[in-house]
Copies of this chain bind each other. A is one copy, B any other.
Amino acid sequence: MIGSSPPRLDGRAKVLGQTAFASDIRLPGMLVGKILRSPHANARIRRIDSSRAEALPGVHAVVHAGNVHQRPFGYGVDNVPLKDHPRYAGDEVAAVAAEDEEIAERALEAIEVDYEVLPAVFDPFQALEADAPRVHDERHDIEGNVSMRWDFEHGDLGAAERAAAVVVEGTYSSPLSAPASIETHCCSAAFDPNGDLDVWTGVHMAFMYRKALADALGLDWRAIRVHQPPIGGSFGGKIDIDPLDFITVLLARAARRPVRIHFTREEEFVGSRLRQPMHIHLRTGADAEGRILFRDADIVSDNGAYNAWGSHALLVVMQTISSLYRLQACRVRSRVVYTNKPYGGSVRGFGNPEATFAVEQQTDELADALGIDPIELRLRNANRPGDVTPQGMRITSCGLEECLRQVRERSGWERRGRMRERHRGLGCAAYIHVGGGARIYPSDGCGSILKMDEAGRVTLISGASELGQGSQTVLAMVVAETLGVPLSAVRVVQDDTELKPWDVGAHASRTTFVAGNSARLAALEVRQRLLETAGELLEADSADLVVEDGLISVRGSPQRAIAYDRVARRRLLRQGGSTLIAQSFYDPPTEPQDEHYRGNISAAYGFGAHVAEVEVDPETGLVSVLGLWCAHDVGRALHPAGAIGQVTGGAVMGLGLALTEELGLADGHVLQPSPREYGMLTALGVPPIDVSLVETLDPEGPFGAKGVGEGGLIPVAAAVANAVADATGIRPRSYPLAPWKVLEWLREPELSRVRRPT
């Protein structure tokens, strides 16, 4: 079972269009909710008059900051669901619930808002200036617009710098981009007659969502049940609770009817969390043999208007700067800066693509400066099993060297540096990422309940969330393998906080590792009890039994056998019988980071390396990726097709980031809120992608597996940029590598702007 690639359990329904997503849910009496958004990037509401809207026939509720009870929420406790002081163009100001879409739209138009427009700041460097408008003038706990700082230091930076033969330096910038999942956000909420609240949403951290919902709206969280319908793509965009969710509940409460808010495509870009721009000024030094001695970073994260998950992406940025390759010393200073713009969430990779873009270009820059082959330089510095990184990350299984060798071999790396006349080049980049959970919350655990019934049907109730990544199938495989029963006997339930045990949520590529281990523990217990009964029936010691494909037999006496489901029946259907149910909880053996950002946050780390081949059109600046070779240390591929799919999907997303995706703003307004104009890749834009899975058999992972959900995306922009450098000699300092930008660099090669934070 493990290592095979059966069809996904949810595949057929999805392919046939029969999956009911959040937006397919209809409840009796359900109303349509719509949100009124601020047209101004910074404004105070002097007066809001919803009386005309409320009077419209078919309108059941109009809510705004003036008529609801709400408390601040978010990592900066700086956000409220409905604002009397919107801080970006698109901020939620009011909402209506009406019989249908059209009435709701008319009601929005009928709300009169008198704004006092205030000066706004859009550039994070301007926002750092002393006289910049303060985005959160009410926050007296911070200085200016710097909402958070993440500073880390390890080793003797001065000594390392003095020992360096070469030091390279640059500022690497990433754009405002969007997770841009095909399914837009949708939330439905209904109070039942007992006052219990049911919410249907795309969130994949359901228990934390429940708490946040209760806290901000003053509800009893014991009375909230979160349903998680199948998710049509999240990529982190649905990880968090959003004003959308609070507003849906506020409307349902005000209207005393179920309410659904379903984002339009345009709203999805404006009203969801984005990947915030980052400007990483980085210096890296190495000795003459190419040993990397230090990294020194100064980072400005262009947070946008509120502190959501995006404000914490620096955790991951820091991790890559401190821990990708062996280092002697490291310093990271970073500031999360408020601007009057859409704000950052946790998008796939969560800071790591941005960090890797900086770190891995400088690895190439070092290699160039030292005249060492870039992959050779990486191999010399590669993390190895047993290493402890400056932040205290304990590397156990580690296939980074093998990944580098694989992509070197498969890509025809020897061609590097020899194709410049043909405007072609090869570039490599590697990454490190958590692969065994990430203890960002006191519990990083996952609970499971496993039940085998008298028919032999096995139900796993898992805390894990399915967000399209295939966790349902992989968890079922883990259970089937452990129990020795056919996959077709296993069902997975994981969509309802009422039923499922705690799990912190689907993030940080943790589900296969953490939920897989949890499912395995429960299955082992059921297996043991099953074998006990089988032992009685077969008159054998249960230790002598083997299970294969649902048949339990005595080792060496295959004729002494009994079907597993018959054993389950015989165990239950007798006087003094019993069920086959077990519960388990797996919390990885990790530790939270201390106040100095030290601690082994994950029970395993994933590694990988990519090589990209590009061709750059010198006339237009168009960068075409001709091929991408990816090798990923996944510990063990439980479902190879699924793992390859994850890597490939991530790589495609990475190519979009590298080449085309950027959400342009003008005066804080999103310029192109549509997938086409935003620049999402289509199938036509995707080059051949070659994926190798490196199996290092992680000692802690389920059957040796590690997380793989985000890796495919992380090194793409860096590899492409390094390939562009190989093809052209220019050094890209920002992505996407849009033709106009590349053309500019080609024409003025020294233009790689070292924009140093002040």
Contact = CB atoms under 8 A, between A and B. Distances in A.
B449 A573 contact: no
Nearest to A498: B459
Contacts of A28: 18, 20, 24
A368 interface: no
Contact of A579 (B12, B223, B575, B585): B585
A579 B586 CA distance: 10
A275 B210 CA distance: 49
A577 B443 contact: yes
A448 to B, nearest CB: 9
B499 A579 contact: no
Nearest to A592: B575
A499 B496 CA distance: 12
A13 B499 contact: no
A576 interface: yes
B497 A573 contact: no
A702 interface: no
A501 B445 contact: no
Given A456-B222, A497-B453, A499-B459, A442 B194 contact: no
B222 A457 contact: yes
A229 to B, nearest CB: 14
A451 B491 CA distance: 20
B453 A502 contact: yes
Contact of A443 (B443, B461, B497, B572): B572
A573 B441 contact: yes
Contacts of A216: none
A304 interface: no
Nearest to A453: B502
A449 B572 contact: no
A130 interface: no
A582 B461 CA distance: 14
Contacts of A459: 498-499
A449 B498 CA distance: 12
Contacts of A457: 221-223, 498
A601 to B, nearest CB: 12
Contacts of A575: 439, 442, 587, 590-592
B211 A13 contact: no
A671 interface: no
Chain A interface size, as a band, is 35 or more
Given A222-B565, A461-B499, A583 B581 contact: yes
A578 interface: yes
Interface string A467-510: 00000000000000000000011010100011101100000000
Nearest to A194: B12
A18 B587 contact: no
Contacts of A207: 453-454
Contacts of A576: 587
**Copies, count:** 2
Contact of A210 (B12, B455, B582, B592): B455
Contacts of A591: 575
B449 A581 contact: yes
Nearest to A565: B222
B493 A579 contact: no
Given A9-B194, A13-B194, A210-B455, A442 B577 contact: yes
A193 interface: yes
B221 A455 contact: yes
Contacts of A502: 453-454, 572, 579
Interface in A185-232: 192-194, 207, 210-211, 214, 221-224
Contact of A582 (B9, B221, B223, B583): B583
Contacts of A221: 455, 457
A16 interface: yes
A574 interface: yes
A447 interface: yes
A573 B442 contact: yes
A590 B575 CA distance: 8
Contacts of A449: 449, 451, 581, 583
B18 A192 contact: yes
A442 B574 contact: yes
Given A574-B442, A583-B581, A222 B461 contact: no
22 contacts: A12-B194, A18-B192, A207-B453, A222-B489, A222-B565, A223-B457, A443-B574, A443-B577, A447-B579, A447-B581, A449-B581, A451-B499, A453-B497, A499-B499, A502-B579, A575-B591, A575-B592, A576-B587, A577-B585, A577-B587, A581-B585, A582-B583
Interface of A: 9, 12-13, 15-16, 18, 20, 24, 28, 192-194, 207, 210-211, 214, 221-224, 439, 441-443, 445, 447, 449, 451, 453-457, 459, 461, 488-489, 491, 493, 497-499, 501-502, 565, 572-579, 581-583, 585, 587, 590-592
Closest 10 CB pairs of A and B: A442-B573, A12-B193, A222-B457, A581-B583, A447-B579, A221-B455, A13-B193, A222-B455, A578-B585, A443-B573
